[in-house]
Structures are given as C-alpha cells and as structure tokens.
C-alpha cells in the first residue's frame, strides 16, 4: 500500500529542512502543503498570530490538543523559554508517530511531550502524571466538537489559572460555533477574534483568544 499524507510530509521535511533548525522545518512543511498537498496544519498565516500570542504569554507550561504532524508543536516549542515545556495530545497513533519524528528532526524533543489518547481521558490525569499545577497557555486544534467539553474539563480539573490564555484554531472553518458562544458569553473569559485564512487557502478562518479570568 502507498504512503500516507503525514508520511509524505515527513519525507518533505527530511529532504528540504535542516536537522535541528525549527524554522526550516516550518518552512518545508508550509512549502509542501501550499504547493504539493494541502494538510490541516495551522499554517503560516495563522501561525504568525500563534507566534505573537505565544511571545506575549511566554508560557512555562503549554498544552496543545490535537498534534496532527507536529507543525504547531514545533511553532510553539521553538518560542518557549529554557525549562518551559509543551504537552501535546494526539488521539491518532499514526499521526503521533509522524509528529514525534518531525519534532525530533527540529531538535525540540526535550521540550515537547506527546501523549496519545482521547483528550477527555488524558486531561483528568495531567496533574498527577506531569506533576504540574496549571497551564499558562492552551492551543485547541483537535476535534472541533471537543473544544467546549475539554475547556470545561480543564476548568473542573483546576488546570486553568487566572490569566491562562486559550487559543482556538478553526473557529470559522471548519467552525466551532458552540465554543465561540461558550467563551464569548462567559464572564470568566475575556475573548477576542483574530481574523485570518484557512491554512494555504483564501477561505476565511481565524483564531479565538480567550483569557481565563479565574
């Protein structure tokens, strides 16, 4: 049987990027997905917004829901301060296997922990498993109908603190209407929409940034 899209993406990184150079890994994936084969990475345009929010927050502990091939894991981890960490959750073992290799190729394996499984099962185990108190930053990029239940779960598990920033991908396309309703009409969040484009296309999409007020 043939290769998968994630496998072809990994090949493009190994061919066109420089080992240990995260920016070259990001550029190689963006080039491949824009000119050869579309894939559901956050991409270069929304990626710049992700970069700016990350630089502003400068998180010690970051969480990503929905690793896919590790493109946004590399974008996030390359901007983390020394001793800061990213935990990224992926449901699909095949995606996780490719992501592990792409993150290692970028030289960021010491800053990123990939956990495989359903976010609903893993979130309640985070404190005990990783000895952490709370997250300073959460990037939501997994099943769009999991954004609300997993945000509520993070609240209930005491994994959000005053000032924690949630950044959600795809709030327009494919869309997360329930999530937008939840964070925008909730006194515990201060929300703002960053208009952009669906990765590698001219379709509208955007990121919703929501600050947890405690």
Q: What residues act catalytically?
A: 141, 144, 169-170, 199
Cα 104 from Cα 123, distance rounded (Å): 24
* Region from 12-20, 28-36, 76-84, 141-149 binding Mg ion, contact rule CB under 5 A: 141-149
Q: Which of 150, 135, 20, 146 is nearest to 87 (CA)?
A: 135
Min separation Cβ 116 and ligand 77M, Å = 9
Q: Which residues contact 1 (CB under 8 A, 6 or more apart)?
A: none
Question: What CA–CA distance (Å, rounded) separates 7 from 25?
Answer: 14
SS3 readout for 169-186: CCHHHHHCHHHHHHHHCC
Among 67, 73, 119, 170, binds Mg ion (CB under 5 A): 170
- Choice between 120 and 213, CB closer to ligand 77M: 120
Shortest Å, Cβ 40 to ligand 77M: 4
Instruction: Look at residue 108 and give the partner it binds from ligand 77M, Mg ion, none, a contact being a CB closer than 5 to 8 Å depending on partner kind.
Output: none
- From the list Mg ion, ligand 77M, none, which binds 163 (C-beta under 5 to 8 Å, kind-based)? none
Q: Least distance from C-beta 122 to ligand 77M, angstroms?
A: 7
DSSP assigned state of 163: E
How far, in Å, CA of 22 to CA of 170, rounded? Answer: 24
Residues that bind ligand 77M (CB under 6 A): 40, 65-66, 68, 89-92, 118-119, 141-143, 146, 169-170, 173-174, 198-199
Binding site for Mg ion (CB under 5 A): 141, 169-170
């Amino acid at each position: 049987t043939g290769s998968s899209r994630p496998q072809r993406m990994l090949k493009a990184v190994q061919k066109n990027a420089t080992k240990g150079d995260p920016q070259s890994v990001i550029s190689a994936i963006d080039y491949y997905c824009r000119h050869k084969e579309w894939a559901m990475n956050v991409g270069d345009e929304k990626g710049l917004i992700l970069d700016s929010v990350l630089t502003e927050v400068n998180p010690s502990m970051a969480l990503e829901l929905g690793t896919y091939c590790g493109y946004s894991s590399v974008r996030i981890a390359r901007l983390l301060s020394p001793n800061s960490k990213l935990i990224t959750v992926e449901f699909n073992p095949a995606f996780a296997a490719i992501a592990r290799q792409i993150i290692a190729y970028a030289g960021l394996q010491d800053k990123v922990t990939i956990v495989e499984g359903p976010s609903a099962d893993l979130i309640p185990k985070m404190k005990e498993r990783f000895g952490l108190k709370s997250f300073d930053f959460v990037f939501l990029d997994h099943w769009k109908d999991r954004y609300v239940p997993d945000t509520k779960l993070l609240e209930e598990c005491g994994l959000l603190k005053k000032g924690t920033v949630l950044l959600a991908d795809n709030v327009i396309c494919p869309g997360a209407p329930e999530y937008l309703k939840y964070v925008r009409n909730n006194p515990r969040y201060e929300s703002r929409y960053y208009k952009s484009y669906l990765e590698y296309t001219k379709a509208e999409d955007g990121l919703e940034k929501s600050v947890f007020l405690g």
